[in-house]
């Protein structure tokens, strides 16, 4: 009986140690260089995360206990070997998962969860961002740590073969252990079961993320069926949305262009404001965009609604904010029920088209344009294999040339979009003249390349016959964490360029008030059709400086930024992790707005 107890305790202790070691790996891959992160962050996170480590360790131990019990009852030696095989598979599977998770967190800012399944349908594109360095890190660390823990398990935890099996009391003891293991599995004896918020302890979001057990988080996310938020009451959410919407619909002082104006939208992949010097970014990386920013109406405080391409594109064409824990693209029926700027332009007799050098099946982004009834889609499939040479597909230079050729000769009026891809990791581009000694040189070169393609396109377009009757809107799908190694919820990570220019724009203006992706389709329809479209429930006019605010969302949180500061609400933790608003009255006002709008977005999403 003593040996039985020792075996069970060894299994449990082994996996608790296992997760703590991988937490250290996560810390060194992601925490070094992060603001306000120290070794004390690691020790505190390790302590607060124990309850979640205990839970997964207890799950695995429970399986071992059941197999061990069957071994004692049946006396089949094969069950002893099965216990060993089971644990070796767990050590390998969990180990590789934890290293991949740690590496991806560096890019995504959140742990792997069920949302990754939406991207795995197109494995080529899902893996396209991974560089040789990424693969080397994952393989090297996995081999070392998995090999080490396999040896430790073999030395300390294997069930030794024996012809002498314990008595029935040993079997009863195992049944007792199985009952006791339920406590750490559910997180204790309290009424509420273990949740992500159970390990939250800090205002520093990275410390909370470090405390989370990634395996527990991934498994839990697979069990969640209802993604509806509950951060405010339905009545409060309706009240907040009504107040903001009424203000938006009152605004009439927008730029009017006329119903026959061509609309050209350029969406630049990963173009953060931090690389555009004309709005406060690094110098010399985007000289062409900088030049054009002075030739039209530029917005210096525009924010992406989400932090991934599929979320950014969805908001750009529907005006619907990015949900922190779900997305319209996963539900074609919901996407069909949402507004769509393409569909509205089609109804007005416009010819519509969308150009992208990659695969529209990736993350289901093609559904946006199916819902919008777009007349023409041009993708990598429309080019010879010799031209489809980039890792993500057809490079930007080729796409811009084809886009220019087509729109300068197609039916007018039209609404046409080009979505670039060369500035996406792994930054697979032709040689460029740009040189830098910065550690982000490859990213800067990729942005410089796309910027040069944009400049060539704009110069050709300006000399074309359609220029005088066209408006050109240039923006980005989302920002990125670099330069600056910004934390996941940082407003600087979400700030992007936005420019309205073209032959129909006869003035140069700079706006400094806060605007968002959600405002773009609403304002485009304002300018062209002279109407405030109330179906865009979460939008306002880009030109309305009296409504200076932007909401943005990431996987686990919601944020708001305006002239008075910024607040960030962590949804799993149920707490504000950033508050840069001075005074309780202002904070309460903006908190009501952020949580109310976030709740309304979720309610409308679930009503579609």
pLDDT digits (tens, 9 = 90+) for 271-328: 999 999 999 999 999 999 999 999 999 999 999 999 999 999 999 999 999 988 788 9
* Bridge partners of residue 499, in order along the sequence: 298, 474
pLDDT for 163? 43
Q: How confident is the model at residue 197 (pLDDT cuts 50, 70, 90)?
A: confident
Can you spell out the DSSP letters for 68-136? Answer: HHHHHHH--HHHHHHHHHHHHHHHHHHHHHHHHHHHHHHHHSS---GGGGGTTTSHHHHHTT--HHHHH
pLDDT for 1? 64
Give ∠ CA 553-558-564 in degrees, rounded to 5: 105
Rounded to whole angstroms, the Cα distance separating 486 from 108 reads 11
Under 8 Å between Cβ of 458 and 432: no
Q: How confident is the model at residue 200 (pLDDT cuts 50, 70, 90)?
A: confident
Under 8 Å between Cβ of 419 and 399: no
Rounded to whole angstroms, the Cα distance separating 105 from 396 reads 28
b (16+ CB within 10 A) / e for 147-174: eebeeebeeebbbeeeeeeeeeebbebb
Cis peptide leading into 426, omega within 30 of 0? yes
Mean pLDDT of 501-527: 96
Give ∠ CA 526-530-535 in degrees, rounded to 5: 55
Q: What is the pLDDT of residues 391-435, one digit of tens each?
A: 889 999 999 999 999 999 999 999 999 999 999 988 989 999 898
The beta strand positions in 144-215, using DSSP E, are none
**How many CB atoms sit inside 10 A of residue 492's CB?**
17
Range with the largest mean pLDDT of 156-170, 221-235, 518-532: 518-532
Q: What is the pLDDT of residues 126-175, one digit of tens each?
A: 666 667 788 898 999 999 999 999 999 999 887 754 445 556 777 888 88
Mean pLDDT of 193-220: 89
Q: How confident is the model at residue 124 (pLDDT cuts 50, 70, 90)?
A: low
Show Cβ contacts of residue 297 under 8 Å, excluding neighbours closer than 6 positions.
255, 499, 500, 501, 505, 507, 508, 509, 510, 511
Q: Where are the domains of the chain?
A: 2-223, 234-485+504-607
**What is the H or E stretch that residue 378 is in?**
strand 376-378
pLDDT for 385? 79
Whether the pLDDT of residue 72 is over 90: the answer is no
pLDDT for 162? 46
Under 8 Å between Cβ of 61 and 153: no
Rounded to whole angstroms, the Cα distance separating 439 from 445 reads 11
Under 8 Å between Cβ of 600 and 238: yes
Under 8 Å between Cβ of 580 and 332: no
Rounded to whole angstroms, the Cα distance separating 206 from 489 reads 10
What CA dihedral angle connects 386, 388, 394 and 398, to 10 degrees? 10
* Bridge partners of residue 376, in order along the sequence: 353
Rounded to whole angstroms, the Cα distance separating 117 from 218 reads 11
Cis peptide leading into 553, omega within 30 of 0? no
Lowest mean pLDDT among 195-204, 338-347, 423-432, 555-564: 195-204
Is 234-485+504-607 in CATH node 3.40.720.10?
Answer: yes
Rounded to whole angstroms, the Cα distance separating 145 from 150 reads 8
β-pairing, 549-554 vs 376-378, is unpaired
pLDDT for 227? 66
Specify the length of the chain in residues. Answer: 608
Tokens 């939250």 -> residue: 200
Burial (CB count within 10 angstroms: exposed 0-12, middle 13-18, buried 19+), residue 318:
buried
């Amino acid at each position: 009986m003593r040996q039985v107890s020792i075996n069970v305790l060894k299994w449990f202790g082994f996996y608790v140690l296992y997760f703590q070691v991988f937490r250290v790996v996560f810390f060194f891959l992601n925490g070094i260089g992060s603001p306000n992160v120290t070794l004390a962050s690691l020790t505190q996170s390790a302590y607060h995360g124990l309850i979640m480590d205990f839970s997964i360790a207890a799950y695995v131990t429970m399986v071992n206990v059941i197999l061990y019990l069957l071994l004692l009852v049946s006396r089949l030696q094969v069950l002893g070997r099965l216990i060993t095989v089971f644990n070796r598979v767990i050590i390998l599977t969990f180990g590789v998962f934890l290293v991949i998770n740690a590496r991806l967190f560096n890019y995504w800012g959140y742990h792997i969860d069920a949302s990754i399944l939406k991207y795995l349908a197109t494995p080529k594109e899902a893996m396209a961002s991974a560089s040789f360095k990424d693969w080397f890190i994952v393989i090297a660390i996995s081999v070392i740590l998995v090999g080490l823990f396999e040896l430790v398990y073999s030395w300390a935890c294997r069930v030794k073969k024996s012809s002498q099996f314990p008595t029935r009391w040993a079997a009863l003891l195992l049944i007792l252990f199985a009952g006791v293991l339920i406590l750490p599995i559910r997180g204790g004896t309290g009424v509420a079961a273990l949740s992500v918020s159970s390990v939250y302890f800090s205002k520093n979001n990275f410390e909370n993320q470090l405390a989370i057990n990634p395996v527990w988080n991934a498994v839990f996310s697979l069990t969640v069926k209802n993604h509806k938020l509950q951060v405010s009451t339905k009545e409060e959410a309706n009240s907040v949305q009504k107040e903001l919407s009424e203000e938006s619909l009152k605004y009439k002082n927008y730029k009017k262009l006329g119903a026959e104006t061509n609309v050209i939208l350029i969406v630049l992949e990963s173009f953060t404001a931090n690389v555009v010097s004309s709005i406060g970014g690094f110098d010399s990386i985007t000289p062409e965009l900088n030049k054009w920013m002075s030739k039209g109406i530029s917005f210096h405080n525009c924010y992406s609604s989400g932090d991934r391409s599929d979320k950014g594109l969805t908001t750009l064409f529907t005006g619907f904010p990015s949900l922190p824990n779900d997305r319209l693209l996963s539900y074609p029926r919901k996407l069909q029920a949402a507004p769509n700027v393409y569909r509205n332009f089609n109804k007005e007799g416009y010819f519509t088209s969308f150009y992208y050098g990659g695969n529209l099946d990736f993350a289901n982004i093609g559904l946006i344009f199916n819902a919008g009834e777009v007349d023409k889609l041009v993708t990598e499939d429309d080019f010879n294999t010799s031209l489809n040479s980039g890792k993500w597909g057809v490079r930007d230079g080729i796409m811009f040339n084809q886009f220019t050729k087509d729109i300068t000769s197609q039916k007018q009026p039209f609404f046409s979009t080009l979505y670039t891809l060369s500035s996406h990791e792994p930054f697979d581009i032709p040689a460029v003249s740009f040189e830098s000694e910065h550690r982000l040189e490859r990213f800067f070169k990729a942005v410089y390349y796309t910027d040069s393609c944009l400049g060539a396109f704009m110069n050709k377009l300006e000399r074309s016959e359609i220029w005088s009757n066209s408006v050109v809107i240039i923006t980005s799908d989302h920002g990125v964490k670099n330069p600056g190694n910004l934390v996941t919820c940082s407003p600087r990570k979400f700030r992007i360029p936005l420019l309205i220019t073209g032959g129909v724009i006869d003035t140069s203006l700079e706006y400094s008030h806060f605007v968002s992706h959600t405002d773009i389709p609403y304002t485009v329809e304002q300018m062209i059709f002279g109407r405030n479209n109330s179906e865009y429930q979460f939008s306002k006019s880009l030109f309305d400086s009296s409504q200076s605010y932007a909401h943005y969302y990431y996987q686990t949180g919601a944020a708001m930024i305006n002239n008075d500061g910024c607040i960030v609400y962590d949804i799993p933790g149920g707490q504000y992790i950033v508050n840069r608003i001075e005074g309780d009255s202002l904070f309460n006002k903006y908190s009501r707005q952020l949580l109310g709008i976030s709740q309304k977005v979720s309610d409308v999403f679930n009503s579609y």
